[in-house]
Chain A
Amino acid sequence: MDLFEYQGKQYFARFDIPVSKGGVADTDDEAVAQAEAAGYPVVVKAQVKVGGRGKAGGVKLAENADEVRFHAGNILGLDIKGHIVRRLWIENSSDIAKEYYASFTLDRPNKVHLGMLSKEGGVEIEEVAVTNPDAIARISIDPTVGLDLQTATDWVERADLDLEARDQAAALLVKLYRCYTEGDCDLAEINPLILTTDGRVHALDAKVTLDDNASFRHPEWEAFAWGETEDPREQMAKERGLNYIGLDGTVGIIANGAGLAMSTLDVVNQVGGTAANFLDIGGGANADVMAAALEVINTDPKVKAIFVNIFGGITKVDDVANGVLEALKRVEISSPIVLRLDGTNAAEGRAILQPHLSDRLIAEPTMLDAARRAVTLAGN
């Protein structure tokens, strides 16, 4: 789960990482109240999970209440690359002397943690990596060892941060590493990490991705559910416990297993169609799961055909077949359904469906045949 900037800063604060004083606002009145509390001048920042907010007019400086009200009014409702601004973060403005970059993430090829620190912050780190790779000081951290203050101090020196920033930066990096590991982040990034004109080091932005697999030990993450998905289809799928990603095409996809679901998208695309979604029903495809999956796809007006692609492993194909029939009793499905069923108990599953097949419920022997049929029915 990606966090909004304000959520990331709230998360940082739990680990004692210094951030600017500020608060959230959903209306211009609330924005003024938060500005009064934070102290002028303030920065009014759009909360969207997409880069380039500043260029889009989503970040404005305000000296007084009138300016806050003016900017908040303009920014709320603004469309930034398809993301509508519904919440603002208002924080006390910082006098910036220097901008740095700091992050921790997993170095997947080497299976260790990777820290990156640069004295060239405030710009895309991918850009720095290309134009001036020597400006990024990397550190590999063995998870069994962790990051201590001495190592962080050496790292900060190697990154050549300004002398007056080094002690504070080293201490902050140790806290950020704790946030990344104990806080179960996939990514904890500060860009920019700033040195103020009065000599303080703190996080001016926060980019945090939480590891969904760790949610069982972080009840506090429930507070971050606000605005998690904008797509009403994804919202509905989430409520039903389905692994769904909305796309723009006309063929609804239901498959078991992430790899097969991805592959189903690929095949639909190769035979000239477009997928309306990614939907992995996982290992336990019973009637409830199948009904929920069909129901979510059914709410998508763009869908003209549905392709159910199942390869039974743990999932038994006869259970899937019963699930489809049960689902059809519960939900009126507006598009024809094309089924491809293989694997554990496939023969039993096909036999169950046989008497119910029609021009609305079609079985095909292979994945490619089924994809072609679904794409034809969708009119691509």
Chain B
Amino acid sequence: MSIFVDENTKVIVQGLTGSQGRFHGLRNRDYGTKVVAGTSPTKAGTDVDGVPVYANVKEAVAATGATASFVVVPPPGACAAILEAAEAGIEFIVCITEGIPAQDEALTYARLVHEFPGTRLLGPNCPGIISPGKCNIGITSGDIALAGGPVGIVSRSGTLTYQALYELSSQGIGQTTCVGIGGDPVPGTNFIDCLAAFEADPETKAIMMIGEIGGSEEERAAAFIADHVTKPVVSYVAGVTAPPGRKMGHAGAIISGSQGTAQAKMDALAAAGVTIALNPTEAGNAMIEIVKAMGL
């Protein structure tokens, strides 16, 4: 099984007629994802390589029965696009947009919680989600993922998500689902959401969690793992050598004082029984050993 999406998930691409939306939307379709529609306020009635374009999400949902949406819209309009999808009844929204103001993210997240509790947002500023062989929504290259499980991956960083997939796939270890939650300050889906879903998924036998400096999500995840996760977890936290007080690319990746350091996060995870690796290769090797020891 996979988490959040599967081979039947029907996806709308918001922003399909833009260059990014077209490239990634069609790439996702080529992977086998059911990309059933796109939206554009000005190009309704046209199509993008055979994918019909509707004026808004509501019309696209009515016509196709889609339950997921892929938001590829620039920062000034991204939050409105997310809320439009939620209002149209979309249950799972993936937003890859980088550069959304934190105030907008906080407001949008609060509105989702109050008005659309049944909707899950993944991102913003994330690579998306891939369930190998079934569904790929986002910008991850499908050929670095390997179907069949048994590992679930959750990561805050885009390129490290690819690195993690590569480390496992290149040694023949497949994945159930790989979720990139993104590095922004207000992620719609966090580590705990994914850990809980992987714990509940019978096909996921082990979990790889890639964190990074900043915030306290890894510490909270550690507490959750200690209490609720029975499956083995391997973790790597990027940014051991990061200087304090500097924003390392991701808006969320900043160490304030002694809080948010990679060391503090690794200590918390180790205390929860997680296997700690010091780089992505080590994490991959540790996971491979665990999987082999399980006889998988």
Query: Could you list which residues of chain A lie within 8 angstroms of chain B, going by C-beta atoms?
Result: 106, 108-109, 111-113, 126, 142-144, 181, 184, 186, 211-214, 216-217, 243, 245, 247, 255-263, 265-270, 275, 278, 280, 311-314, 342-344, 366-368
Contact = CB atoms under 8 A, between A and B. Distances in A.
B212 A111 contact: no
A216 B77 CA distance: 12
**Mostly helix, strand, loop or mixed at chain A's interface?**
mixed
Given A259-B253, A313-B162, 6 more contacts: A212-B247, A214-B101, A245-B246, A258-B248, A261-B248, A266-B238
B249 A258 contact: yes
> Which of A259, A265, A368 has the most chain B CB atoms inside 10 A of its CB?
A259
Given A181-B103, A263-B279, A344 B141 contact: yes
A260 B246 CA distance: 16
Contact of B141 (A144, A211, A343, A368): A343
A342 B166 CA distance: 9
A213 B78 CA distance: 13
Interface in B154-198: 155-163, 166, 183, 185-186
Contacts of B212: 258-259, 262
B185 A313 contact: no
B280 A367 contact: yes
A216, A255, A260: residue with the most chain B Cβ atoms closer than 10 Å: A260
Contacts of B249: 243, 257-259, 261-262, 278, 280
Contacts of B280: 263, 367
Nearest to A50: B245
Given A258-B253, A266-B240, A313 B166 contact: no
B181 to A, nearest CB: 12
A108 to B, nearest CB: 5
B210 interface: yes
Contacts, number: 166
A179 B166 CA distance: 45
Contacts of B139: 313-314
A186 B253 CA distance: 13
A300 to B, nearest CB: 16
Nearest to A185: B103
Interface string B235-267: 010111111001111111100010000100000
B140 interface: yes
Contact of B102 (A211, A258, A260, A342): A211
B18 interface: no
A268 B103 CA distance: 36
A262 B213 contact: yes
A143 B159 contact: no
A75 to B, nearest CB: 23
B217 A109 contact: yes
Contacts of B159: 255-260, 311, 313
Nearest to A126: B257
A260 B157 contact: yes
Interface of B: 24, 75-76, 99-103, 106-107, 109-111, 114, 127, 139-141, 143-144, 155-163, 166, 183, 185-186, 210, 212-213, 215-217, 220, 236, 238-243, 246-253, 257, 262, 278-281
A270 B243 CA distance: 16
A35 B248 CA distance: 40
A216 B157 contact: no
Given A255-B159, A313-B127, A266 B251 contact: no
Contact of A217 (B76, B111, B143, B157): B76
Contacts of A212: 247, 251
B106 A270 contact: no
Contact of A211 (B107, B248, B251): B251
A213 B110 contact: no
B279 A258 contact: no
A266 B158 contact: no
A261 B161 CA distance: 13
A311 B144 CA distance: 11
Nearest to B213: A262
B217 A343 contact: no
A368 B284 CA distance: 13
A121 to B, nearest CB: 18
A275 B248 CA distance: 14
B76 to A, nearest CB: 7
B103 A214 contact: yes
User: Which one of A186, A243, A255 has the greatest number of beta carbons of chain B within 10 Å?
Assistant: A186
11 contacts: A112-B106, A144-B110, A212-B247, A213-B101, A258-B159, A258-B248, A261-B249, A262-B212, A266-B262, A270-B279, A280-B249
B216 A213 contact: no
B141 A259 contact: no
A258 B183 contact: yes
Contacts of B102: 106, 184, 186, 211, 213-214
Given A106-B185, A259-B238, A270-B278, A245 B243 contact: yes
A266 B248 CA distance: 13
B26 to A, nearest CB: 14
A113 B281 contact: no
Given A211-B102, A367-B280, A278 B186 contact: no
B238 A263 contact: yes
A150 B185 CA distance: 29
Given A106-B185, A260-B163, A266 B216 contact: no
Contact of B216 (A106, A109, A184, A366): A109
Contact of A343 (B162, B183, B252, B253): B162
Contacts of B262: 266
